[in-house]
Copies of this chain bind each other. A is one copy, B any other.
Amino acid sequence: MSEDNAPEIVLALEIDDPALADRLAILLGNIAGLRLAAPGEAATATVMARDPRIMPEDIALTQRELDVLALMAEGASNKLIARQLGISVHTVKFHVGSLLDKLDATGRTDAVAHAARRGVIEL
């Protein structure tokens, strides 16, 4: 047992392609000393599709949207963002609306999560 100071390795799958993710999950599912991370669980290592994150430069966010997004990620409210950027709350809402649209998110929390996943912002 001297060897077993090594704890189980927990692998997180971060793969968009469902087919590939499935195959990997099956292949990696039954290996002693290794298991897949439960959703939301902290992992030892991550399996990612080739080309970590920065896939395309798609999403095309404007500078102002990036400003707003960054502050959103800090947990700032619309009012605070408005004050920070020197614009009105209405304008902030406008940008937030655009972000929800472009990031295909249902709310600001979802927007930040999506953006982080895609590498648009760094948490």
Chain B residues in 8 Å Cβ range of A123? 113, 116-117, 123
Q: Residues of A with Cβ closer than 8 Å to B?
A: 6, 9, 11-12, 14-15, 19-20, 23-24, 27-28, 31, 33-34, 37, 39-50, 52, 55-56, 66, 69-70, 72-75, 77, 105-114, 116-117, 119-123
Residues A70 and B39 in contact, CB atoms below 8 Å apart: yes
Residues A27 and B20 in contact, CB atoms below 8 Å apart: no
* Copies of this chain: 2
Across the interface, A75 reaches (CB within 8 A) one of B14, B77, B109, namely B109
Measured CB to CB, the nearest residue on chain B to A13 is: B45
How far is the CB of A109 from the nearest CB of chain B, in Å? 4
Residues B113 and A42 in contact, CB atoms below 8 Å apart: no
Supposing A6-B23, A33-B27 touch, asked if A105 and B75 sit within 8 A by C-beta, the answer is yes
